[in-house]
Amino acid sequence: MLLLLNRYTIDNALSFFFNCKFCMVSKRLSLRVMLNVQGEKQMKHVIGIDVSKDKLDCMWLIDAQNNKKRPRIVPNSPTGFELLEKWFQKDIDVELENILVIVEATSIYHEPLIYALYEKGVQISVVNPAYVRDFAKSYGVHNKTDKKDSMMLARYAVSNPPKLRLWQPEPPEVRELKALLARLSALKKDIQREENRLEKSTITAVSNDVMASIKQVYSLLKEAYKDLEEKINQHIDNHPTLKNNRELLQSIPGVGDVLSREMLAIIASRDFQQASEVSAFLGLVPKQKSSGKQTWQTPITKKGAGRIRAILYMAAIVATQYNPDIKAQYERLLEAGKAKKQAICAGMRKLVQICFGVIKHQNKYQRQTV
């Protein structure tokens, strides 16, 4: 009787265990299927486009698991954009807002495409080329062709839906401000080159004609630089939001005319959710490296525009003297044994965070340290 009871108890226990395990497995499978179905619904029509100057290599990934795909090549021109729209409507045969096009940020050649598709209602995602390249390496892909790149773009979109952000066009006034600032930066480089030529010509004693030519070009560049600066200030003043945000930025000790207009363009051009995203965008995030007991120095990532980091570096040096929050942080890091350059880089990140904060909360700078 005891043996039967034990056997009955064991059988019940085993039955309960397997039933519970089956429930857990079935729930897990149903959850996985649900996620797959939702993911397939959201990413059902994914098209990767590899952009070059003259053509667009497109890849419609119909079924990622079975590697079912359909390629298409069109010119990178308004005619090509119209052919893409006809292809979407004829072959894919869905509403354009149900199509996701993923492209890499390739200088300026992708911009006409994404603006044209966005106006038609197509969803756009612009990704960092380095992320897609690392993703391709994880698949063991060694060849690099336009067709292969478009395929990896589509697979990246299907495999990493949470990491994708839908692209939104910049406001026209912000886009114009960025163009003006880019031109101002180019003029500054040209002025520096003419200054170097002028110094070299003075030392080598060139002819008067050469010296006169250099001085003439140098004078014209300086005048053009001054005129463009006035146009930038006028452009900001003509738009109330830009003007207000610049005043907020200039309320921060250490932020002057140059840094305020650069940070104004950066923060307004992207949908940053938090200050750490701006720091990462500018390449100011520490890059830690350690293995076992061995540790290396911790540099910053230096991603993004080096020109902006150079401006931030000079501003941070000033801020360590006149900004109470950054000065307190700088002195605290030096007391902790950090190098001066590390403390200044931390000041650069702090300055970016303060810039983001005053614009986000629409309040002038307020001292945090007592």
51 and 146, same domain (yes or no): yes
Can you give the residue range of the structural domain that contains 294?
241-370
125 and 174, same domain (yes or no): no
359 and 281, same domain (yes or no): yes
Helices 306-322 and 324-335: angle between axes, nearest 10 degrees: 90
367 and 261, same domain (yes or no): yes
What global pTM score does this model have? 0.77
Q: How many domains, in total, are found in the chain?
A: 3
Give residue for tokens 């697979």.
Answer: 155
Q: Is residue 32 part of a domain?
A: no
233 and 313, same domain (yes or no): no
Q: Is residue 15 part of a domain?
A: no
DSSP 23-91: HHHHHHHHHHHHHHHHHHHHTSEEEEEEE-SSEEEEEEEEETTTTEEEEEEEESSHHHHHHHHHHIIII
Give phi and psi for 368, each to the nearest 5.
-100, -35
Output the tens digit of pLDDT for each of the chain's 370 residues. Answer: 333 444 444 445 444 444 443 343 333 333 232 233 333 344 468 999 999 999 999 999 888 888 888 999 999 999 999 999 999 988 887 888 889 999 998 778 999 999 999 999 999 999 988 889 888 888 888 888 999 999 999 999 988 876 788 899 989 999 999 999 999 999 999 999 999 999 998 888 788 899 999 999 999 999 999 999 999 999 999 999 999 999 999 999 999 999 999 999 999 988 888 998 899 889 888 877 667 766 666 777 777 788 999 999 999 999 999 999 999 999 999 999 888 999 999 999 999 999 999 999 999 999 886 5
